[in-house]
A and B are shown apart, each in its own frame.
Chain A
Amino acid sequence: MYQYTEFDKQFVKNRAAQYRDQLERNLAGKLADDEFRPLRLQNGWYIQRYAPMLRIAVPYGEISSTQLRVLAKIASDYDQPDAQLLHEAQEKQLALGEVPVPGGTPVATSLKWGYGHFTTRTNVQFNWIPLAKSADVMDLLASVNMHGIQTSGNCIRNITSDELAGIAPDEIADPRPFCEIMRQWSTLHPEFAFLPRKFKIAVNGAREDRAAIGWYDVGLQLLRNEAGELGFKVQVGGGMGRTPIIGTVVREFLPWDQLLNYLEAVIRVYNRYGRRDNIWKARIKIIVKAEGQRYIDQVEAEYKQIVEIDGAPHTITQAEFDRVAASFVPPLLKHERKGADARLHEIVRTDAEADPAFDRWLQRNVAGHKNPELRAVTLSFKRLGQAPGDANAEQLRIAADLADRYSAGEARVTHEQNLLLPWVHQDDLPELWAAARKAGLAKPNIGLLTDMIACPGGDFCSLANARSIPIAEAITQRYQDMDELYDIGEIDLNISGCINSCGHHHAGHIGILGVDKDGKEWYQVTLGGSNGSHLSGTATPGKVVGPSFSAAEVPEVIEAVLDTYRRERQTVGGKPETFIATLKRVGIDPFKAAANAARFVEKEVA
């Protein structure tokens, strides 16, 4: 991963000091709350339902074992509500009621503390750190080159990429050096700190889009032109929210060294002309949609001026590319077992191979690698008893140890809210499996129904209309049978507690969205959404099934939809069709009919 220079380290420390200065002025009454708000947001500090939330950046998902251990320390030492606050919050959440599980135990909110939460945009969030301690936490993070810079606010946010960046067998070029170069360029950019709205960039370097680039304000696809030169296809104006839109291609080929100059043009035009009168129409997607070719022409004209008049000052030099890329060379892995080690390995391997769970884990949690001797292994943070993507201090420490022992000290936070170990030797798989299983991180469910995406929702987030976690838990509880889960096969189930779409419900094959009606929790269900992966097909938003469902109805609706799939699917080439393939073939209607039939009572159309 990227190796911080002295300048980079000092920069993050200075940022922490700046935040402390701002916090102190706020506490002293010199910086009003509404003036402090955008400043703390740009350091990742929200004020949520019951307590502040901290969002820590994990740039393009890469995290070291040392950083994981600091997250563990934050979980155990700082993510701790006082008893009174916790009691009040728990009582209020209980009042929201239970989500029944068909044939199971009803799910009530049980608020957890002392853990970090992996997000779809590869950030890590904490929910209970008191604001008064926030500056101490920023200092602690800075000690391991971490921060919350621009993880919120109307600025260029944390840049995301493919979890297999730099290791994927189908990679065209490693996106990480470009991610890092853009991270540095966008950090404390003086012109783009107060944009009309948030601005998110994703980069994909492989043939398969695993970075959902169509859904981003700017989506970048690395590719080579006919002459073999490296560049980017540039998409602008994708986004979720109230108006889900897939980005428009504004450039089929942008030479790699022009990336920053071109982005400057894209964002400057947006800063000047993006709407600021209505928060729901302020994302770049709205101006791209409204202006169409005129927006693209303006960007091209601005880019031309940046090149011709300004002299293209942000042209990425070969020297800078090489400097940054040097951080991303694969680690040297020594791999020899001798004597007692070798004998022990044989015992562990034999044990593992005799266990059908190991085979399932190899199928689901282990992915191919550029280096044929290595594998990418996903530790599953999707299991009953913890919300999707939650990791407590102990689990974070264990993940750090596993990264040290089996993955050159590196891990990655994934878009699907798990941790991936990128440098695992194939001979270590039995040992890693045994150790991960002991820690409860070897659930072989990656890509399956229970590997769902869910935002924190109405248990924590003040924006949420409804809770996500109890819905996720109810579905997880219902689908505990691994045989059934494997029979249902690969599927993207995504849950958002509100239209801000942190749970990417628009892109789920099944999407669940919390909506607010008469102050009660309701859920809209969408079908057929896609993030752009090979499995899901061209990126597209799902279609709404009909009027929203009550919390109690949601597990029934999911079951009805999945039963429809199992009834309708065909066998293709000896394999059952996937859920999304069946849905595309037969159309949404039978699924819709089944979902609507699962309503408890006929309701008025909302």
Chain B
Amino acid sequence: MQQTIKIIDAEAHAAEVKGAQVLQLPNDADPLEAALEGIERIELNFPKFTDGRAYSQVALLRRRRGFKGDIRATGDVLVDQLVHMQRQGFSSAVLRADKDAADVARQFERFPEFYQGDTLQPEPRFARSAA
């Protein structure tokens, strides 16, 4: 699949001054309750890469809240989770500083298509191929 998620350099992200238009949502917060007015970017955190709550949060922000701005994955963001992140609706991700961004592109090239629908492609493959 085509990579659309933007990989953000960890240092650049850390150095950035975050204004009121950036909302940092902890991963136990309810995205359906969050105040999104004036928000341009939502940051969802992975305290550990094995903690998958933010995958559900991002889906709800996109599908139920209709949030169109940037949603950024922060924290323990590794190469092998980026495809999941993009599919669920993250538009940017801060790759952990010690990870090699050169390993990213081929993860997206490997699978041209998946079985189930996701945030970017809500219909599952069987519904798409029937059309």
Contact = CB atoms under 8 A, between A and B. Distances in A.
Interface of A: 7, 11, 14, 17-18, 21-22, 25, 30-31, 35, 38-39, 154, 184-195, 260, 268, 271-272, 276, 305, 309-311, 313-314, 316-317, 319-320, 323
Interface stretch (B18-26, B36-44, B114-122): B114-122
A190 B50 contact: no
Contacts of B106: 21
Contacts of B57: 272
B63 A310 contact: yes
Interface residues of B, number: 40
Contact of A313 (B80, B88, B123, B130): B123
B13 interface: no
B53 A313 contact: no
A190 B56 contact: no
Contacts of A11: 111, 115
Interface of B: 49-53, 55-57, 59, 63-64, 78-81, 83-85, 87-88, 99-100, 103, 106-107, 110-111, 113-118, 122-127, 130
Contact of A185 (B52, B64, B79, B115): B115
B49 A35 contact: yes
A193 B126 contact: no
Nearest to A320: B126
Contacts of B99: 30
Given A188-B114, A194-B51, A268-B56, A309 B64 contact: yes
Residue among A190, A191, A319 facing the most chain B CB atoms (10 A cut-off)? A190
Contacts of B50: 38, 154, 194
Contacts of B113: 7
A280 to B, nearest CB: 17
Contacts, number: 108
Contacts of A316: 126
A271 B115 contact: no
Contact of A194 (B49, B83, B126): B49
B80 A191 contact: no
B96 to A, nearest CB: 10
Given A185-B116, A309-B63, A311-B122, A191 B52 contact: yes
Nearest to A321: B126
A30 to B, nearest CB: 6
Contact of A190 (B64, B118, B126): B118
